Amino acid sequence: MILVIGANGMLGHDLMATLEGDVRGVDLPEIDITDLVSVRKILLTLKPKVIINSAAYTDVDGCESNAERAMTVNGEGVGLLALTAREIGAKLVQISTDYVFDGKKGAPYLEADPVGPLSIYGESKLAGELNAAMAPEHLIVRTQWLYGIHGKNFVETMIKLSGEKSELAIVDDQIGSPTFTRDLALVIKALVEKGGSGIYHAANSGFCSWNEFAKAIFAETGANVTVNSMTTKELNRPANRPLYSILDCSRLERDSGLKMRDWQDALREYLSLRK
């Protein structure tokens, strides 16, 4: 059996829709990954062969004022999953993030590149990676800039704002790859089927700034919004974010033959599906 933890989340929903065969999904309150009793109760009862952990505290700015919760959920919780995975002989698949990097490399990040998180969220997700590696069999999939049908995301925020405003200022100095959770779910499924282990980077191909992403959303939806530029410094959010965090996905391509499609194609499909 494959067990998806965080099954009600944005990626979790798409994992549940994509995985085939004997698949179970759990989320709060049925399981709380920060509670060993809860984790052991579910895992020892269901005895999955593969545990995909998509559960996380994902409010990047919220993590700055709630560091303890961030570390407990994103770091220690993964440790409890890893220990219990070891006990039942399950493989642990952990979803991680480009925010483990500092964004200063100036070229796409390889799996083995040095990490250097700039935020509490990034630190807590890095702790989750290190803890996931305690499971004898583990797979860590780093991804970025997710959007999907079943979650709050940048695309939905832009569409909502386009109904309220005719002019917006969006940061133009953070570069990454917007990634559709459906596409990511397909890659995770393939990696699980192929027995992938260690760290993999997985994101839609190509890259853009948030500003260019917003312009692409409005071009596709036909919204008449002027998109002005602003800097990350001007936006002044609580959490620091890497300015350039493109993930080099060539290991994924080499080992699995999978190349994720261009982010523009994925965005088009997302927009057609959400209608």
By CB under 6 A, residue 56 contacts ligand NAP? yes
Give the count of residues interacting with ligand NAP (CB under 6 A). 27
Rounded to the nearest 10 degrees, how much is the dihedral formed by the CA atoms of 26, 31, 34, 35?
A: -150
Q: How far is the CB of 21 from ligand NAP (least distance, A)?
A: 22
- List the x/- string, 36-55, binding to ligand NAP by CB under 6 A: ------------------xx
The tokens of 264 are what?
């523009």
By CB under 6 A, residue 10 contacts ligand NAP? yes
Smaller CB distance to ligand NAP: residue 128 or 227?
Answer: 128
The tokens of 218 are what?
């409005």
2 neighbors 24 (Cβ within 8 angstroms): yes
Q: How far is the CB of 38 from ligand NAP (least distance, A)?
A: 8
Smaller CB distance to ligand NAP: residue 53 or 211?
Answer: 53
- Active-site residue 121, yes or no? yes
Instruction: Please pick, among 57, 121, 244, 270, the residue that the annotation labels catalytic.
Output: 121
Smaller CB distance to ligand NAP: residue 8 or 232?
Answer: 8
Q: How far is the CB of 195 from ligand NAP (least distance, A)?
A: 21
- List the x/- string, 144-163, binding to ligand NAP by CB under 6 A: xxx----x------------
Q: How far is the CB of 252 from ligand NAP (least distance, A)?
A: 15
- List the x/- string, 125-144, binding to ligand NAP by CB under 6 A: x-----------------xx
- Kindly list the residues in this chain that would bind ligand NAP in the complex (CB under 6 A): 6, 8-12, 27-28, 31-34, 54-58, 73, 77, 95, 97, 125, 143-146, 151
Instruction: Provide the annotated active-site residues.
Output: 121
